[in-house]
Amino acid sequence: MSDLVLENLRKQFGSFVAVDGADLTFENGKLTALLGPSGCGKTTLLRMIAGLESPSRGKIMLNGQDIAPLTAEQRKFGMVFQSFALFPHLNVARNVSYSLRIAGVDAKTRRARAQELLELVQLGDKGRNRIGELSGGQRQRVAIARALAQNPEIFLLDEPMSALDAKLRNDMQMELRLLQQQLGITTIVVTHDQREAMTMADRIVVMSQGRIEQVGTPQEIYHRPANPFVASFIGNANLLQGRTIKNGVRVDQTELIVKGQGELVPGAEVTVFCRHEAVRLSTDSLGENCVPGLVTFVRDEGVAREIHLETPVGRITAEIPGSFHETVRIGDRLIAELSPDTLHLLPVAEGVAA
Ligand code: ATP
């Protein structure tokens, strides 16, 4: 088996470009998440892979063959939609074996395969139930089992968790991930939820306005975002505008030392990136890059506290774990320490809100 490869794939609706020249390789047996805000083109990209939308340009290569001319039925990919799209008039087992019936598989084989798949998704005793008797999570498992009935080479899921409540969504993310690893099936999941992508994916493709902004492991995307868009979309980060100096960056009148970014060319406009959880707060200026600040907002999130400070470099948000700084109040004066090895410099992008 070889990888699924997209070459310069583009989709235009009239003059509107929904997907703009996507070059991507989906590795065999891995789970890739297509992640981005509403309208960024991720569903359109998935639909082109599924054969539900024809590309305006470019190739979709599977096993070295361009499958763009094939219909969705000919591709035989497994697909789970946001709505699950189950048949309410058929029982659970018949929903699962539906595509086998269409393919002319005999009744005995169909029944055996449906039972095998229902056991795989932990619904072995629900085959005779009506769809209306199942919970949201159980329906989703039926949709997954149905999509896997024909042993598809590629498994596609479009926002598969969005109809589930938060707790169930968390559980199903883990279940789906375990199932995918167990089967070793090449899987592509569309989501706008960065936590979902981080939980499930081997690789994340971050998209914005029809373009691919970055491709990487969850760790790479989180710790080494390629640009301010990715940095602000994934996790919580402080983004400050500055200009490089020999050993760091000047933000307004304040010089911050930056380490581990290679040799810096002074005078370049950059965005300084620092995760909320990387900021340390204290009452004394002890370390490097200490900026004084006035507390303007405090939010208790149980496991952590979010504290906003107005400082000479702009607003800094710190996320402090546990019950430390319990006594901090709006109006307090604190020092924010932006340790040099937690600062990363990103190229400036036009029109990106920090
Ligand atoms: P969401 O999370 O909201 O579904 P998305 O990232 O999946 O967003 P797409 O559904 O791929 O985005 O849509 C990308 C853009 O293409 C949107 O601006 C959408 O309005 C447009 N679009 C999608 N399908 C069509 C169509 N059939 N005709 C015209 N425009 C379309």
Name which of 137, 111, 110, 105 is nearest 123 in CA terms: 137
Closest CA to ligand 1's atom 5: 39
Evaluate whether residue 95 is within a structural domain: yes
Statement to judge: residues 164 and 102 lie in one domain: yes
Distance 40 CA to ligand 1 centre (A): 7
Q: Out of 9, 11, 13, 48, give the residue to mutate to test ligand 1, the one with the largest number of ligand atoms within 8 Å of its CB.
A: 13
Distance 90 CA to ligand 1 centre (A): 32
Report which ligand 1 atom has the smallest distance to the Cα of 210: 14
Statement to judge: residues 217 and 250 lie in one domain: no
pLDDT for 351? 44
Statement to judge: residues 38 and 170 lie in one domain: yes
Name which of 281, 232, 272 is nearest 252 in CA terms: 272
Statement to judge: residues 271 and 144 lie in one domain: no
C-alpha span between 344 and 223 (Å, rounded): 9
Statement to judge: residues 61 and 128 lie in one domain: yes
Distance 42 CA to ligand 1 centre (A): 8
pLDDT tens column, 73-92: 888 899 998 777 888 888 99
Name which of 216, 174, 213, 166 is nearest 33 in CA terms: 216
pLDDT tens column, 156-178: 999 988 877 888 888 889 988 99
Distance 297 CA to ligand 1 centre (A): 37
Under a CB-based contact definition with an 8 Å cutoff, are residues 192 and 116 in contact? no
Distance 190 CA to ligand 1 centre (A): 13
Asked if ipTM goes beyond 0.85, one says: yes
Q: Which domain holds residue 136?
A: 4-223
Under a CB-based contact definition with an 8 Å cutoff, are residues 85 and 147 in contact? no
C-alpha span between 208 and 218 (Å, rounded): 17
C-alpha span between 196 and 158 (Å, rounded): 13
- Here the tokens at position 62 are 């599977």
Residue with tokens 């979709």: 60
Evaluate whether residue 353 is within a structural domain: no
Evaluate whether residue 306 is within a structural domain: yes
Q: Which of 192, 223, 254 is the last residue of a domain?
A: 223
Statement to judge: residues 20 and 43 lie in one domain: yes
Report which ligand 1 atom has the smallest distance to the Cα of 36: 6
Statement to judge: residues 302 and 179 lie in one domain: no
Per-residue pLDDT for 354 more than 70?
no
Q: Which of 199, 223, 247 is the last residue of a domain?
A: 223
pLDDT for 204? 98
Distance 346 CA to ligand 1 centre (A): 29
Give residues with Cβ within 8 angstroms of 80, minimum separation 6.
140, 143, 144, 147, 155, 156, 157, 158, 160
As for how many domains the chain has, the answer is 2
Name which of 95, 93, 102, 6 is nearest 55 in CA terms: 6
**107-120 and 136-147 helices, crossing angle to 10°:** 130
Statement to judge: residues 212 and 258 lie in one domain: no
Q: Is the pTM of this model over 0.80?
A: yes
pLDDT tens column, 313-337: 999 999 998 666 678 889 999 999 9
Provide the CATH number for the domain around residue 32.
Answer: 3.40.50.300
Under a CB-based contact definition with an 8 Å cutoff, are residues 248 and 215 in contact? no
Q: Taking CB atoms and a 6 Å cutoff, what residues make up the pocket around ligand 1?
A: 13, 16, 18, 36, 38-44, 192
Distance 52 CA to ligand 1 centre (A): 13
Provide the CATH number for the domain around residue 328.
Answer: 2.40.50.140
Strands (E), the chain: 4-13, 16-26, 31-35, 57-62, 65-66, 78-80, 154-158, 186-191, 203-208, 211-216, 237-245, 248-251, 254-257, 269-275, 280-282, 290-300, 304-311, 314-321, 333-337, 344-347
Closest CA to ligand 1's atom 9: 41
Statement to judge: residues 82 and 147 lie in one domain: yes
Evaluate whether residue 352 is within a structural domain: no
C-alpha span between 37 and 74 (Å, rounded): 31
Q: Which of 200, 223, 246 is the last residue of a domain?
A: 223
Statement to judge: residues 212 and 301 lie in one domain: no
Neighbours of 12 (CB within 10 A): 14
Q: Out of 11, 42, 44, give the residue to mutate to test ligand 1, the one with the largest number of ligand atoms within 8 Å of its CB.
A: 44
Evaluate whether residue 354 is within a structural domain: no
Statement to judge: residues 157 and 196 lie in one domain: yes
Evaluate whether residue 183 is within a structural domain: yes
- Here the tokens at position 112 are 């055996």
Statement to judge: residues 13 and 139 lie in one domain: yes
